[in-house]
Chains A and B, each alone.
Chain A
């Protein structure tokens, strides 16, 4: 069968979840600069990786792979569904990163190329593979040695027992040498700089147990601990692997977020042509152009053009500001209505972002170094275990009058029985489970410590604009006359201003049929003007700012207004407010129910903030704060000894996010804020904040319970081991028993879900 026939029949087969293909290939923003993400794979072949968040099913995989392989110049394309990535190799010169990206976008998949070399270890995950190999070898050895040991425990004697012991040694010794390497390496690294870590007692226990057992086997002894040494490695490697996976997930989340942030700026060259460049490549003095609907890429002075600018991401203010030649625009502001030309100002200092970066740095320096729960436990555990084992050794040396064979045996039994499974397995298991539960509910944990710290908080500080609200206007008040509505909707259709869009959406909700108008023109910074047709043909109408429509200036209230002015009549107002996240009030209530203090710190006007604060019922609020004010407020709270969760999204929140005990950002937040926050949540709901807090509290309880369980086991087992009652059988039972119990206790976390919070 000809290939062409197959392809002709099948591209139509798409899953319900797949995005629809976009027929026209619109030029994308991040071009030119994209080429730098490609890397040489030899022989004139280049490799590039794309993030493709929308890839979701078998149909997506075959659509992308077939579509790309049919493209000229493409050598191979492989979709990784777990990572939502597409790896493409192509012959350089025949096609380009941009061309491939356009093709993917034509199929309906929004993609971003990203720097795979920086996350190479993540992609091929060599460390993870090595750990899995160790785990497999340890598992194999543990199972087989255990089988042989059971026959010894059930009464094998003399030659048979010796045979079993020798066979066990044959299996266990290579396994100990191979599978224990991650622990030996870490223990050696710690000892070299004169420190103790958890891996030191682990290494000691494994090697001592294996050594003593070999000695006993050679002397036809009764007890050998081969099974204990390999199953100890097996359990601990499970913990190590889980820990690695959790870290990998966090790193991958961070990488993905930063890759999604990569975008470009339109540089106007001295010759007058336009070229897209990466934002990092802009230098002071460059002339850039910003189209309506785009974010300002760098701080600069407006040279040409008039427009409205949404500053909410930068200052928290919801009312747009008019930009005209001479206005200083800051990176992160949204250009709403007109085309602007800017001259980039010096980036080193003086710019808002540089100032924010300095504040973040200072805040991070000032923040206390946090010690993870497992590390804190290890600090007590490692020296304690060594001390107990040493005491037992010396005690038995004295008691038996120098029988070092028995004494070493007892000491190593002690090290085995006190195996740090609770530390090495239970905490990683809790964190892996909690991370998975959060991921499924739309929370990305960027930093493992953040999860622990979130469980300790007593105060929650919120930013308003973009965090509690969606940063989208919603109509709250308008005229009752349907004709006015029709006219306003007709004018609003001609504008891309967010307020016009919101007005139009409200009109559609009311079933209003927009009236047709002629010669509509948008006046940036003012509004839309048009001519009516039909009954009042020829009369001019305006929809826009109050001063432009001849409306009275209203001040001191929380609403933003748009006026409709018909010639010869009084202007009519449409009032908007920033739309609250639908569940903001209920989340606030549930946080307060848990005894948490809630605080609202906003950069917006006092009149707006007070209304929002009253509606949400926060404990306290402050308005018109600068980034430095917010940072100072956070520092003051920390000085009072409070542990604060900061939730914010704007550039103005970034220093506060860095200074807080732990912080969260919505996925739509400014890049600096997302980078500063420990966790990121997706979606329009605020519920993930409360849910993340619930999960982290439960995770903390589970981790502590696991420590208690492990401590209980040790409290029973240590005296037995001290007095020499711990046979290999008892050691195996105690160790496996405690490991299984703590793991099961950790996995119970999976039952948590966002019920009652979900949208």
Chain B
């Protein structure tokens, strides 16, 4: 039973991390153009840092 006291907080923390990551991606507009994102990955110089 003592394992629970460690495992439950860990499980919750990981879950919260996932939730936080999702909310961040949502706020930064990553869901605004899903089709575009799928195509942009094909052009290799798009959004790339300057060489």
Contacts and interface: CB of A to CB of B under 8 A. Distances in A.
Interface string A127-147: 001001100110010011001
A125 B1 CA distance: 47
Contacts of A79: 36
B33 to A, nearest CB: 4
B51 interface: yes
Contacts of A136: 19, 22-23, 26
Given A61-B40, A144-B11, A129 B26 contact: yes
A82 B26 contact: no
Given A58-B39, A61-B43, A140 B19 contact: yes
Given A58-B42, A132-B26, A133-B23, A143 B35 contact: no
Nearest to B46: A62
A513 interface: no
Contacts of A167: 8
Interface in B1-51: 1, 4, 8, 11-12, 15-16, 18-19, 22-23, 26-27, 31-36, 39-43, 45-46, 51
A613 to B, nearest CB: 44
B15 A144 contact: yes
A81 interface: yes
Contacts of A140: 15-16, 18-19
Give the dominant DSSP class at B's interface: helix
Contacts of A143: 15
Nearest to A56: B39
A125 B36 contact: no
A83 interface: yes
Interface in A144-166: 144, 147-148, 160, 163
B22 A62 contact: no
A163 B1 CA distance: 11
Nearest to A128: B31
A143 B14 CA distance: 13
Given A133-B26, A140-B19, A82 B43 contact: no
B43 A81 contact: no
B9 to A, nearest CB: 9
A167 B45 CA distance: 48
Nearest to A85: B33
A61 B19 contact: no
A636 interface: no
A83 B11 contact: no
Interface in A590-626: none
A82 B33 contact: yes
A261 B36 CA distance: 26
A61 B12 contact: no
Given A133-B23, A136-B22, A136-B23, A58 B43 contact: yes
A718 to B, nearest CB: 34
A537 interface: no
B36 A61 contact: yes
A57 interface: yes
Nearest to B19: A140
A190 to B, nearest CB: 28
A144 B12 CA distance: 7
A65 B36 CA distance: 12
A80 interface: yes
Tier of interface size on chain A: 20 to 34
A194 to B, nearest CB: 37
A160 B42 contact: no
B36 A80 contact: yes
A81 B35 contact: yes
A77 to B, nearest CB: 12
A61 B43 CA distance: 9
A380 B8 CA distance: 43
Nearest to B34: A82
B43 to A, nearest CB: 5
Contacts of B32: 80, 82, 124-125
A61 B1 contact: no
Interface in A108-140: 124-125, 129, 132-133, 136-137, 140
Contact of B1 (A58, A82, A133, A160): A160
A1 interface: yes
B21 to A, nearest CB: 10
B28 to A, nearest CB: 11
Interface string A244-268: 0000000000000000000000000
A1 B51 CA distance: 7
Contacts of A1: 51
A147 B14 CA distance: 14
Given A136-B23, A136-B26, A80 B43 contact: no
Interface string A45-82: 00000000000011101100100000000000001111
B45 to A, nearest CB: 7
Contacts of A148: 8
A171 interface: yes
A275 to B, nearest CB: 37
A171 B15 CA distance: 11
Contacts of B33: 80-83
Contacts of A132: 26, 31
B36 A81 contact: yes
Contacts of A8: none
A171 B12 contact: yes
Contacts of B36: 61, 79-82
A129 B23 CA distance: 9
Which of A59, A144, A171 has most chain B Cβ within 10 Å?
A: A144
A129 B15 CA distance: 20
B42 to A, nearest CB: 4
A163 B5 CA distance: 10
A6 interface: yes
Contacts of A163: 4
Nearest to A59: B43
Contacts of B22: 136
Contacts of A124: 32
Contacts of A57: 39
A65 B43 CA distance: 12
A428 B41 CA distance: 32
B1 to A, nearest CB: 7
Contact of A62 (B18, B35, B43): B43
Which of B18, B34, B35, B51 has most chain A Cβ within 10 Å?
A: B35
Interface in A460-496: none
A167 B5 CA distance: 11
Nearest to B8: A167
A58 B46 CA distance: 10
Contact of A147 (B11, B16, B31, B46): B11
A88 B4 CA distance: 54
A133 B24 CA distance: 10
Closest 7 CB pairs of A and B: A81-B36, A58-B39, A58-B42, A82-B35, A81-B35, A140-B19, A80-B33
Interface of B: 1, 4, 8, 11-12, 15-16, 18-19, 22-23, 26-27, 31-36, 39-43, 45-46, 51
11 contacts: A58-B43, A59-B43, A61-B40, A62-B46, A80-B33, A81-B35, A81-B39, A82-B35, A137-B19, A140-B18, A160-B1
Given A59-B43, A140-B15, 14 more contacts: A1-B51, A6-B45, A57-B39, A58-B40, A58-B41, A58-B43, A61-B46, A62-B43, A81-B35, A81-B39, A133-B26, A148-B8, A160-B4, A167-B8
